[in-house]
Amino acid sequence: MNRLLQIARAAALITLVPAIGVSMLELKQPRGVDFTLQNSPTPQKYLIETMPGGVALLDYNNDGLLDVFLVNGGHVDPKHPENFDRHDPRYWNRLYRQNKDGGFTDVTEQAGLANAGDGNYGMGVAVGDYDNDGYPDLYVTSYGKNILYHNNGDGTFTDVTAKAGVAGGGWSVSAGFFDYDNDGKLDLFVTRYMDWDMQHSKDCGGTFHTYCPPGEFPRTTNILYHNRGDGTFEDVSQRSGIAAKKGHGLGVAFADYDGDGFTDIYVANDGMQQYLFHNNRNGTFTEVALQAGAALNLDGGPLSGMGVVFQDYDNDGKPDVIVTTLPRQTYAVFHNDGSGAFSDRGLQTGVTMLSGATSGWGVGLEDFDNDGQKDLFITQGHVLDNVELIDPSLHYLEPTLLALNHNGRFERTDPGTDALVSGRGAAFGDLNNDGWVDAVTTVLGAHPQFFFNRGGSSHWLTITLRGTRSNRDGLGARVQVNGQTRFATTAGSYASANDKRLHFGLGSAKSAKIEVFWPSGTHQVLNDISADQFLDVREPEKP
Amino acid sequence: MIRTVLALWLAMQAASPEVMQHFEAGRKAESERHFDTAAAEFRKVTELDPAFAAGFVSLGQVYMEQRDYAAAVAPLKHALELDPNFAPAHQLLGYALLAQGYAAEAIPHLARVQEQSALGIAEIETGQFIDAIANLQAALQKRPNDPDLLYYLGRASGLLSKQSIDTLQATAPDSPRAHQSMGENYFVLRRMPEAEKEYREALRLRPDVPEVHLELGVVYATSSQWAKAEQEFRAQAKLQPGDAEAAYRFGTALLEQGKVHEARVEFVRADRLMPDMPETLYSLGKTASLEGDTAVAERAWIKLLSIEKQSSLAAQAHFGLAGLYRKLGKAAEAQHEMQEFENLQNTPQPEKQK
């Protein structure tokens, strides 16, 4: 009898743990995606060449299947700088519609997304339904002019940049939609990297000729656009205090770190201190990273911040920050200690040990094994395409990092490939609607990588928020499920946009208690919700 | 010096008044830096009295003041033919030959007058590194912190080191030490896989060879392979328990893996073995702070700041203290430390390019 019990327990355990030697993720190129990220490296080492490009996972046609939008760089011709040949199909951004059979169809041209405009070298993408019409809109960042594409709801998009007043200018990288004043309309934040242009480019590294570090060029401001609700935005960068701080902004992520009901902004800056813009609840922000302990590493050193994720990794209900960096630094883990303070937990979480020799870009905290703890996924690759000449112990092409979360400590596991790549963007979502999170990354000069989750037997719950008083997608909501917390956002990672749905692994639990803290202030509780379903949660129309 | 010796020597010489008149005229012109005039007067002296050695030495000296070392050699050599013991002639000839790259020829003349600085330099050129080091060290005792002497001493030491290693590689290429030295070379070139291979071979041949575990640990640490680094530093600490660096590096490898308490034990040990090393004090404070032992952390960082005030470690200590005081609710102290940190951090921003 005892022996039978032991066997039964062992069998139960086996069903919860992925088989040893089989990766949780499988790298698989889906049919129909033939995109190549054209960064066009030149001997002149224009810095933009090493920085694209983003990827977005969105359901643009509301057919229940995630589609993929990929941002392209452009053609860099030193004889004709500032052109980039974006009219040439090789340099188009691309939208791939997912078909019911799991394959994809390139719908770029019919969707009206073909030519991103000569003079624009593509960088990143943000997704949000800024007009609350139920269809996700696209905002594409560039060196040059950014573009806001309004989703017409019929499979096409319209460039409404001029009308909306969100062209930006200079060198934008990441962007994200969020509702900073809780008025139910999504606003827009755009990071900008530096005050740089093609005419004033230079290379560094002496005879090695490398891309220059950011400190070689002046800092610049990020941009905050306020959504007026009539299809136009107002640049409130100055008035809000955002423009008071210049930096080398790359990644951006949002969360309400101090629980005051207003969304705050974290900006990953390259080669300097990071910025945490605290929302003052009156339309202004104060940069508080240094005093909050989220600006520098444990030793007071600056970070080459590139990607960033702002989610709760240790299920204490408070959003933490993970910033990806260059090698010879380590990825930063700023644990939210409460009371507005953070502490660097890179050592305790094992993340220090996982980094140090690699360059991290796109990053996500997602529960890949559905055990109720968010795991860490980072796409990696050095900035310098000739770094081996300078330091043979470093490498331009790097492996992808997947680390499982074991009670707050991350341990490396097989990401499904040992391919070495120059990874940049990364977006996360359930591509095949099987209840297990997948990932898509972009690779310089190569096809994107699709990491499909092999799945398992643990339970899960995926929630789509339907805001009524809040913005339609409930971005900015804090959602708690069986002791886990997620902040509703499509932003984070690097230059990319994630599936708006909130995914929760439930482990062995077959039901869940859900609490939603909507941006409107409404607190909604749902009990005994069955596991293993895609659930729409509609915000009560009355508080 | 040379002039004083010449004056004493002259007092013992007998020369005609006419010769002495030209000689004095040459010396006067030389003191006024009219070198062409001085050279003409001294040439006249050597013509009037070909046995007057001081005339040839003075002519050679004027040429040297004009940086015409080649021209100086002949009169100086002639002076030594007249008087082989004439010290100023040896000294000047030694310099003149060395300046033209004839180090081997210069050495006997410089040795004769114990001109240790120039002799040391000449010995570097001829590959006599041990003698060069001895002479340069002796010269440095007379002229402490002389930049040229310090440079040449460093160069001689480096070349001696290279010579020793070359000999090692040539005579015992399969010895543990040869593999160790190859490992060191690869490490400097940042070729870590090759460095690792050489160190591993050294340890295979002789598992207890001192310092190899330490160096191999550094290779792993450089490439962030902390578990392997820990293993090597642990082995080094076991082999040489009195090695403070091994204890410090062992602690660092443990800390990087999040083994905070074990790391702290090693930092305490390192501090005991070699007290008041700023790096150890910083790490000791860091681990104590991570363990919530604020008193020890504060003490370690304040001690560090009493030793170093402007370094990057000092900045780190201020940053650590700021965080520590913030947690303790000491806002004013935290602000002060953060200000000190920022003062040490401030770097100018590049100007706008357009």
Question: What is the DSSP pairing of strand A308-311 with strand A449-453?
Answer: unpaired
The answer, yes or no, to whether residue A6 has pLDDT greater than 50, is no
What is the SS3 string spanning A141-178? EEECCCEEEEECCCCCEEECHHHHCCCCCCEEEEEEEE
Kindly state the tokens that stand for A34: 């033939």
Question: What is the DSSP pairing of strand A121-128 with strand A137-143?
Answer: antiparallel
pLDDT digits (tens, 9 = 90+) for A306-321: 999 999 999 999 999 9
Upstream peptide bond of B323 is cis (omega within 30 degrees of 0): no
Q: How far apart are CA B159 and CA B151, in angstroms?
A: 12
Q: Which residues pair with B344 in a beta bridge?
A: none
Tally A–B CB contacts below 8 A. 76
Is B190 in Cβ contact with A393 (below 8 Å)?
yes
Residue B287 Cα, gap to closest chain A Cα (Å): 11
Residue B80 Cα, gap to closest chain A Cα (Å): 52
Residue B4 Cα, gap to closest chain A Cα (Å): 52
pLDDT score at A9: 43
CB contact set of B180 (below 8 Å; sequence gap of 6+): B198, B199, B202, B209, B211, B212, B215
Kindly state the tokens that stand for A367: 């529960």
Kindly state the tokens that stand for A323: 């910033």
pLDDT digits (tens, 9 = 90+) for A158-179: 999 999 999 999 999 999 999 9
> Angle B35-48/B17-31 helices, nearest 10 degrees?
160
Is B223 in Cβ contact with A298 (below 8 Å)?
no
ipTM confidence score: 0.86
Of A293, A356, A391, the CB nearest to B323: A293
Q: What is the DSSP string of A102-122?
A: S-EEE-HHHHT-S---TT-EE
pLDDT score at B2: 55
Q: How far apart are CA B52 and CA B63, in angstroms?
A: 18
Residues of A in contact with B258 (CB under 8 A): 347-350, 352-353, 409
A193 and A173 Cβ atoms separated by less than 8 Å: yes
Kindly state the tokens that stand for A193: 């990297």
What residue in B sits closest to A355 (Cα-Cα)? B224
Burial class, A209, CB count within 10 angstroms (exposed 0-12 / middle 13-18 / buried 19+): middle
Rounded to an integer, the average pLDDT of A476-482 is: 98
Question: What is the DSSP pairing of strand A478-481 with strand A484-487?
Answer: antiparallel
Of A218, A298, A392, the CB nearest to B190: A392
Residue A310: CB atoms within 10 A of its CB come to 28
A14 confidence band (pLDDT: 50, 70, 90)? very low
Compute the radius of gyration of chain B from its Cα atoms. 31
Is A392 in Cβ contact with B192 (below 8 Å)?
yes
Higher pLDDT, A389 or A27: A27
Is B341 in Cβ contact with A219 (below 8 Å)?
no
Element (H, E) at A485: strand A484-487
pLDDT score at B345: 82
pLDDT digits (tens, 9 = 90+) for A40-85: 999 999 999 999 999 999 999 999 999 999 999 999 988 888 899 9
A275 and A511 Cβ atoms separated by less than 8 Å: no
Q: Which residues pair with A137 in a beta bridge?
A: A128
pLDDT score at B332: 96
pLDDT digits (tens, 9 = 90+) for A231-245: 999 999 999 999 999
Is A195 in Cβ contact with B316 (below 8 Å)?
no
Is B338 in Cβ contact with A290 (below 8 Å)?
yes
| Coil, strand or helix at A291 | helix
> Angle B103-112/B116-125 helices, nearest 10 degrees?
150
- Mark out the alpha helices in A370-434 (DSSP H runs): 387-390
What is the SS3 string spanning B295-330? HHHHHHHHHHHHHCCCCHHHHHHHHHHHHHHHHCCC
pLDDT digits (tens, 9 = 90+) for A495-541: 999 999 999 999 999 999 999 999 999 999 999 999 999 999 999 99
Q: Which residue has the tokens 């019919």?
A: A110
What residue in A sits closest to B261 (Cα-Cα)? A348
- Mark out the alpha helices in chain B (DSSP H runs): 2-11, 17-31, 35-48, 53-65, 69-82, 87-99, 103-112, 116-125, 129-142, 147-171, 176-188, 192-205, 212-222, 226-239, 244-256, 260-273, 278-290, 294-307, 312-327, 331-345
A393 confidence band (pLDDT: 50, 70, 90)? confident
**Sequential pLDDT tens for chain B (354 residues):** 455 555 545 545 667 889 999 999 999 999 999 999 999 999 999 999 999 999 999 999 999 999 999 999 999 999 999 999 999 999 999 999 999 999 999 999 999 999 999 999 999 999 999 999 999 999 999 999 999 999 999 999 999 998 999 999 999 999 999 999 999 999 998 899 999 999 999 999 999 888 999 999 999 999 889 999 999 999 999 999 999 999 999 999 999 999 999 999 999 999 999 999 999 999 999 999 999 999 999 999 999 999 999 999 999 999 999 999 998 999 999 999 999 999 998 744 444 433
pLDDT score at B10: 58
Describe the strand order of the beta sheet including A401-406 as a list of residue ranges: A360-366, A375-380, A401-406, A409-413
Could you tell me which residues of chain A have a Cβ less than 8 Å from any Cβ in chain B? 195, 197, 200, 215-219, 290-291, 293, 296, 298-301, 327, 330, 341, 343, 347-350, 352-353, 355-357, 391-393, 409
Rounded to an integer, the average pLDDT of A337-355 is: 95
Write down the mean pLDDT value for chain A. 94
Rounded to an integer, the average pLDDT of A342-370 is: 95
Kindly state the tokens that stand for A227: 């959504």
Of B258, B319, B350, the CB nearest to A218: B350
Rounded to an integer, the average pLDDT of A143-153 is: 97
Element (H, E) at A419: none
- Mutant choice from A393, A406, A412 vs B, greatest count of B C-beta within 10 A: A393
| Backbone torsion region of residue A523, taken as left when φ is above 0, otherwise alpha when ψ lies between -120 and 50, otherwise beta | beta
pLDDT digits (tens, 9 = 90+) for A174-202: 999 999 999 999 999 999 999 999 988 98
Of B224, B326, B351, the CB nearest to A356: B224
**Whether pTM exceeds 0.95:** no
Alpha carbon separation from B243 to A256, B250, B258, B266, B279 (Å, rounded): 49, 11, 23, 11, 15
